[in-house]
Every structure is written in C-alpha cells, then in structure tokens.
Chain A
C-alpha cells in the first residue's frame, strides 16, 4: 500500500534527478574556510611534502569523493610531493579511483607521490603515523615497493616533516586532533557536512587551517579550481532537497498540531 513516506521518497528522488539531468544554474558563493585551504595549498613551498589521508569508505563516496578529488587535483598542480595515507581498508582503492580521474600532469609515481598501504587501528594508526610515517606503513608502499627507494618520501619521517596534512573523515575529527595537534604541522580537513559543527572548536581556534564542508565545500573548491565535477553538479539538487526538507518539517508540524486542535481530521 502506498503511504505518505513513499510519496516523500518519490518526491526526493524526482527533485534530485531533475537538476542532475537539467541544471538550474543557481550561483554558489565560496566561503572563508574553503578559501583558507585553497590559499594554504597555493602557499606550499616548492619541493615540500604534503600528506593527504582517507578515513572513510565507499558509502561516503558521493560526499567525500568529490572533496578529495578536488584537493588532489589542486595538489597535483603544485610542485610538491604527495603522501597518500589510508585509515580504512578501502582507502588505497578509493585513492586509486580518484587518481584515475584527475589530471596528474607531469607527476610520476614514486618520485612525486606515493600511496601508502592501509594502516589499521584508527587512533593507534594516527599516533604511529605521526611518530614515524615509514614505520607505520611497514616500510613499503601499497604495491609492496620499499619506501626507502622512493624519493617522494625522502626526508619524511614524522608528521612534522610534512608542510601540510589534509585529512578527510566520515566521523568526528577528535581522534586525529588528539594525536596530531601537539605537532607543529599545519592541518586541513574535509568533512561530511554533519560533522562540521563538532569540528568548529578546532577550526575557530586556528589549529585547523582550511576546512571543506561536505558536498557544498567540494563545489566551492571546484569553482576555485575552475574544474567542475560532482560537487558543482549536485548543488542544484542540494538546493531543491533542502527546501523540501523545510517544507516537510513545516507540513509535519501543521498536520500534527492541526489534528490535536481538531483543525484537520
């Protein structure tokens, strides 16, 4: 039997499908924390090493995938070395998927960027990585090559040897902050939209330089890079569905209070 919730699901699906097929073109303004990350990457010294890490799985791909894609695309345009670390089983495979979708320019694997293997343990892994990146990876990259033979990690031992560590996560950032904030490394974060309010104490205090807020932040970053992707493609759908969300809250309360006060049968 068709119920009210089925109509809501159908409305949600249609309101997403329409702008994906035929975009409305609503303008997107770039917010301060996204600009902070962009500027931080732009200011990276030539030849410095930058860390980027994944702490999410494929279920979060629609939100964090575009974020990391935009960040890595920017990093690959800069003359820096990139160290890619994963705290989840799927991390290396997700990095491979992202790397296959970006323009790597003249960067070569091993010399300019390296993919580390999955480092288990979540907070234990963060601590091990911060103390000794090579040892935490078991001394090898994801493909089994010895890290001592790869110039991308030359001179990189602790997290303080990185000019910037960008981490993306699907939960709170407390674990990373507990293990990394005592080091001097500059930290940047790309979060699920829902995790942003919980991360604000660290952002507002200045310990985190640059934050990307969900798919909206990914869209803003794509605008700054002038490289549209799923982020920008999704913003119209975000607009329509958010209006639907507000309409449902209002409608639900009107029906509830109307029935209680007998305005509505």
Chain B
C-alpha cells in the first residue's frame, strides 16, 4: 500500500499524458495520434466529473454548518441546499419553471454580483489611484486616452482620442503584450518539464 502512495506514480501519469500529447501533435504515427485524441476526449469527461467534485465540496462545507448549527450561518446553509435541490428538481420535474427561475432569478443575481465589482472600481478611482511617479503618470495617461477612446463622448471632445487610443493598444501595448505572451509560453514549457521531472508538485496538493 505504501508503494502505491509514492508520488512517483502521479508524476509518471503526468509525464505520460504530456509526452503522449506531444507525440500525437508532432508525429504522423497513426496509433499515437489516435491515442492522443482519446486522451483529449477523456480529458473532457474527467473535467466534467471534476465539476461534480466541486459541487460535492461546497455541499460538504454547508452540511457541516448545518450539522454543527453554526450560529448565524446554519440556516443560510440550509437555504442554499434547499435552493440547489429546488433548481435541480425543477430541471426534471417541470422544465418551464426551471427556465423561468434561471431567467428571472439567476441571471439578475449574477449581474448584481458582477455589478458590485463595477461599483468598487469607481470608489477605487477616488481612493486608490495615485499618480506618484513617472511610471504611474504614463500608466494613467494611457488609461485616460483609452477611456476616452471607448466613450463616444471622447470623439466629440477631440477625434484624436480615438486615433491615439487605437495606436496605444495596437502598437506599444501590443509589443509589450507580445513579449509577455512569449515569456508565458517559455514559462509554460519550463513548468511542464519541471513537473515531469518531479521538481514541481504543487498540483498534487500537500501531504
């Protein structure tokens, strides 16, 4: 049993998956390409099963709250589980009700949660965005030009904002972004090689 617990097994599985996909990509050996294609479709199913694991994890946390009667929380957790079961049940029992609940409750709630971020950004403009040095000045100057490029009123004030804003994103911004992409690509390859050699084990979790 202790041999099965060895980290070498998952590391080998990781390396096997990476190497098979690389071989399937760069070679024209039919069995390897077929095996790589199967691995990709397995990945889709595994990702789907991982979704259920996520749901289970959330349920576990909230069921614990209910069992322990955590003050000021347990009834909220109970309501969470009731609304989950209600939504799931309606999907099978009466689909039109499920559709109405999705369109009239879920979408407004989602948009409301997203709007909180928008509101916080505007208070951050006043409280947090400070132009303390030359680099910050460049950052905010470009931000202001792009803001006025995106807002139709910017073109009413001066048509140059549209041209300048587009140039900033198309030329120097694209240059810097391109370099970041190249660095990220090299980093991805380096990280995969380190993971295959067992030097990166973060994805396996702690002991």
Residues of A within 8 A of B (CB): 4-5, 8-9, 12, 26-29, 31-32, 57-62, 89, 93, 97, 119-122, 124-125, 127-128, 131-132, 135-136, 174, 193, 196-198, 200-201, 204, 213-214, 216, 235-236, 238-246, 248-249, 251-253, 256
* A202 → chain B closest CB, angstroms: 9
Residue on A nearest B103 in the bound complex, by CB: A97
A106 CB → nearest B CB, Å: 26
The contact of B44 among A120, A200, A216, A235, by CB within 8 Å, is A120
Q: Which B residue's beta carbon lies closest to that of A253? A: B131
Contacting pair B110 A248 (CB below 8 A): no
User: B130 to A253, Cβ gap below 8 A?
Assistant: yes
Interface flags for B144-161 (1: CB within 8 Å of A; 0: not) read: 100110111111100000
Mostly, the B contact residues are helix
> Hey, which chain A residues are within 8 Å of B113, CB to CB?
59
Inside 8 A of B51's CB, which chain A residues have their CB?
89, 120
> B125, A216: Cβ atoms under 8 Å?
no
Is residue B178 contacting chain A, with contact meaning CB distance below 8 A?
Answer: yes
Residues of B within 8 A of A (CB): 37, 40-41, 43-44, 46-48, 51, 99, 102-103, 106-107, 110-111, 113-114, 118-119, 122-123, 125-131, 140, 144, 147-148, 150-156, 162, 166, 169-170, 173-174, 177-178, 181, 184
Q: What distance in Å separates the Cβ of A250 from its nearest Cβ neighbour in chain B?
A: 9
A-B contact count (CB 8 A): 145
Q: Is the CB of B106 within 8 A of A58?
A: yes
**Of A12, A28, A204, A243, the contact of B122 (CB 8 Å cutoff):** A12
- B37: chain A residues at CB < 8 Å are 131-132
Q: Which residues of B contact A216 (CB under 8 A)?
A: 150, 152
Chain B residues in 8 Å Cβ range of A253: 129-131
Is B129 a contact of A252 with CB atoms below 8 Å?
Answer: yes
Q: Could you tell me the distance between the alpha carbons of A190 and B154 in the complex, rounded to whole angstroms?
A: 22
Indicate if the CB atoms of B169 and A136 lie closer than 8 Å: no
Q: Please give, as numbers and ranges, the residues of chain B lying within 8 Å of A27 by CB-CB distance.
A: 152, 155-156
**Chain A residues within an 8 Å CB radius of B40:** 124, 127-128, 131
Closest chain A CB from B140 CB (angstroms): 7
B151 touches A242 (CB 8 A): yes
Question: How far, in angstroms, from A177 to B132 measured CA to CA in the complex?
Answer: 37
Question: In the assembly, what is the distance between CA of A244 and CA of B119, in Å?
Answer: 12
Q: Are A235 and B152 in contact (CB under 8 A)?
A: yes
Partner of B41, one of A29, A31, A136, A246: A136
A93 to B147, CA, bound (A): 33
- Residues of the A chain whose Cβ atoms lie less than 8 Å from the Cβ of B125: 245, 248-249, 252
Residues of A within 8 Å of B178, CB to CB, are 201
Can you list 30 contacts pairing A with B, beta carbon distance less than 8 Å?
A4-B123, A4-B126, A5-B123, A26-B152, A58-B107, A59-B113, A59-B114, A61-B107, A93-B99, A120-B51, A121-B44, A121-B48, A122-B47, A127-B40, A127-B43, A128-B40, A128-B41, A136-B41, A174-B181, A197-B174, A200-B169, A200-B174, A238-B152, A240-B153, A249-B126, A249-B129, A249-B144, A251-B126, A252-B125, A256-B130
Sort A-B residue pairs by CB-CB distance and give the 4 closest, nearest first.
A121-B47, A239-B153, A242-B151, A124-B43
A8 engages B123 (CB within 8 Å) = yes
Other-chain contact of A200, B41, B162, B170 (Cβ < 8 Å): B170
Given A8-B126, A29-B155, A252-B129: A125 and B47 within 8 A (CB)? yes
Once the chains are docked, how many angstroms separate the CA of A246 from the CA of B130? 13
Chain B residues lying within 8 Å of A125, measured Cβ to Cβ, are 44, 47
When the two chains form their complex, are residues B47 and A242 in contact, meaning their CB atoms are under 8 A apart? no
B150 near A121: Cβ-Cβ < 8 Å:
no
* B44 and A136 contact, CB distance less than 8 A: yes
A121 in contact with B43 (CB, 8 Å):
yes
Knowing A128-B44, A131-B40, the reply to whether A60 touches B103 (Cβ < 8 A) is no
Decide if B166 touches A31 in the complex (CB within 8 Å).
yes
Q: In the complex, what distance in Å separates the CA atom of A9 from the CA atom of B153?
A: 21
Closest partner residue, chain B, to A33 (CB atom) = B166
Closest A residue to B188 by CB, please name it. A178
State whether A60 touches B114 (Cβ < 8 A).
yes
A192 to chain B, nearest CB (A): 11
A213 to B152, CA, bound (A): 13
